[in-house]
Amino acid sequence: MSGAAAPDALAEPSERVGGGWTATLSLANGAIWVGWYGPLQILLALQAAELAPPGMPKESVLAWVTGMGAVVSMVCNPLFGALSDRTTSRFGRRTPWIVAGVLGGAAALVLLAGAGTVPVMAVGWCLVQLTLNAAFAAITAAVPDRVPHRQRGAVGGWLGAAQILGVVAGTGLATLAGGVAWGYVACAAFAVLGTLPYVLTHRDPVLPAERRPALTGRAFLAGFWISPRRHPDLGWAWLTRFLINLGNSLALLYLLYYLRDVLHRPDPGGGVLLLTAVNGVTLLGTVVVGGIWSDRIGRRQPFVRWAGVIMTGATVLLAVWQTWAGALCAAALLGVGFGVFTSVDFALMTDVLPAAAHRGKDLGVINIANSLPQVAAPALAAPIVQHLGGYRVLYGVAAAVGLMGALLVRRIRGVA
């Protein structure tokens, strides 16, 4: 029996996955994004404004807290991906980490609900990042574990749709739950409930203990370095994802403050919710279609490149048309571009993975391109807003960074 299980755990998948598997994995993915983006879109910003010490700007508090959390995310995603690669549980390689990560994330969100000081807020958010990244690393790795190459655009599209619905749901829960504390509790509950269908109805392939590679501390740490010389396509794909995500992070980090301080919206939290909903509608209109279209024609690069260009145009609108109408148009355009980027870039990344035995670790390294921008964006955005020209300059820089990422996708040679 162990010999039969090893090919399932380590071999390249060839059979298409069913709709039920995709739906429940997508729901679990969306639930994790609720746990992240309810805080990121609304709750952390409100909490930073409440807890900022005298003389310390709320922007700086938010930058420090989110930056620290992003550092934790950057380290933990590949770490937990590598640990899941080596897991020989009878429940599979990925499921134990999904369960432990989501339960830990829910507890950390409840801790944030009671935070009364900036240090407790920072510790709580770092714990959220640590635990939810354990679950996210396992969910991400389940795709190359189970989905053949020519179906990954479609599955990536459904995961992307769940992601934006998670962002919308998290923003909605944070806005409507009745205060910061209840917002955190609502996000925690949703994160747990949303993962149950996948955990209860689907089993991961089991890795037999005898197929687990020998472990030394030095070899384990060395495995996190993926040489761009040996794997240039993976290196360029990573850089493309990093730059486009950095441009997006710069554009979204201070959205609540932009609506309040520049556009003078009377209800900036409600404004963020509305913009997120508009963004979600247009994203949902492209994320699945883009992935399926990419699968059918067998090409990834043109979709990623033009998605990046469209997102750049949306960010330029925020720089030059600083009105509520401009913000609505930018949100809609950003959704179109990010929808295609989310599904097709994910498929592109899984297509350039070096080996099946360490998919979780390699995807964790790739996911640093998602979390590192959360570290870099606050470090860049705070001085730009406070000292180097304000929001026009911030969005101009964001547009330039995103455009660079879109153009560099041409350097990937092994994927059309």
Q: Check residue 9 and give its pLDDT.
A: 63
Q: How far is CA 373 from CA 85, 140, 150, 184, in A?
A: 25, 19, 29, 24
Q: Check residue 356 and give its pLDDT.
A: 66
Give the length of the chain: 416
Q: Check residue 332 and give its pLDDT.
A: 94
The residues, ordered by sequence, that sit 6+ positions from 321 with a Cβ below 8 Å of its Cβ are 329, 330
Beta carbons within 10 angstroms of residue 173's beta carbon: 23
Domains (range + CATH), the chain:
2-209+216-411 (1.20.1250.20)
Return averaged pLDDT per consecutive 10 residues of the chain, 416 residues in all. 48 83 95 93 90 86 88 88 87 93 97 94 96 94 87 89 86 88 96 96 83 67 72 86 90 86 88 86 89 87 91 92 93 91 85 74 82 80 86 92 90 76
3-state secondary structure 8-35: HHHCCCCCCCCHHHHHHHHHHHHHHHHH
Tokens of 16: 């298409």
48 contacts 65 by C-beta, under 8 angstroms: yes
Q: How far is CA 233 from CA 145, 147, 174, 238, 411, in A?
A: 20, 21, 39, 8, 8
Q: Check residue 6 and give its pLDDT.
A: 43
Tokens of 382: 């705070």
Tokens of 156: 């990536």
Q: Check residue 232 and give its pLDDT.
A: 86
Q: Check residue 414 and give its pLDDT.
A: 67
CA separation for the pair 13, 32 (Å, rounded): 25
Beta carbons within 10 angstroms of residue 103's beta carbon: 16
Closest CA to 70 of 370, 380, 365: 370
Q: Check residue 139 and give its pLDDT.
A: 93
